Amino acid sequence: MPLPDGKEWLRDAQLQALQAQIAQLEEQVESYLAIKTHKKKPASLNMVQNLPTLLIQWRIYKGLTQQQLADRLGWHYQQLQDYEKSDYATATWQTITKVAEALVSGDEKSSEVA
């Protein structure tokens, strides 16, 4: 389908987006097959049990106070304090993910957290 003059960049952008999606899907399939055929072991399930401690440790490692992290999250610091005190016992998965993302934000080495 021909594009109007000056819109070739749109086709290039769409092509690049599709190529990125294909590469991501190929990587996911490769990882799935490696796990299914026991060539790769999944991450330890202990990580889930240790997640509350890891979130607190990462906050400390990043040099953030509870107030500073709460500000990043748009929360009152007491909310974060309550979560940390209870080892995130009442936190939803969405909340835990939001905290992890706030800890990663602005970090050039964000892949180290994952």
- Residues 52 and 94 placed together within one structural domain of the fold: yes
**Cβ-based neighbour number of residue 67 at 10 Å:** 14
- Residues 53 and 105 placed together within one structural domain of the fold: yes
Q: With contact defined as beta carbons under 8 Å apart, do 102 and 72 qualify?
A: yes
- Residues 33 and 63 placed together within one structural domain of the fold: no
- Residues 8 and 54 placed together within one structural domain of the fold: no
Average pLDDT over the chain, rounded to an integer: 89
114 pLDDT above the threshold of 50: no
9 — pLDDT class (breaks 50, 70, 90): confident
The number of distinct structural domains making up the chain is 2
- Residues 83 and 101 placed together within one structural domain of the fold: yes
pLDDT computed for residue 106 by the predictor: 60
Q: With contact defined as beta carbons under 8 Å apart, do 66 and 81 qualify?
A: yes
15 pLDDT above the threshold of 50: yes
- Residues 25 and 52 placed together within one structural domain of the fold: no
- Residues 37 and 58 placed together within one structural domain of the fold: no
Task: Please report where in the chains the tokens 């990580």 appear, as a residue.
Answer: 47
- The pLDDT tens digits for 40-64 are 998 788 888 899 999 999 999 999 9
Q: Is the pTM of this model over 0.75?
A: no
Range of the domain at 64: 46-112
What are 57's two structure tokens? 């440790």
- Residues 56 and 106 placed together within one structural domain of the fold: yes
Q: Which of 9, 27, 42 is the last residue of a domain?
A: 42
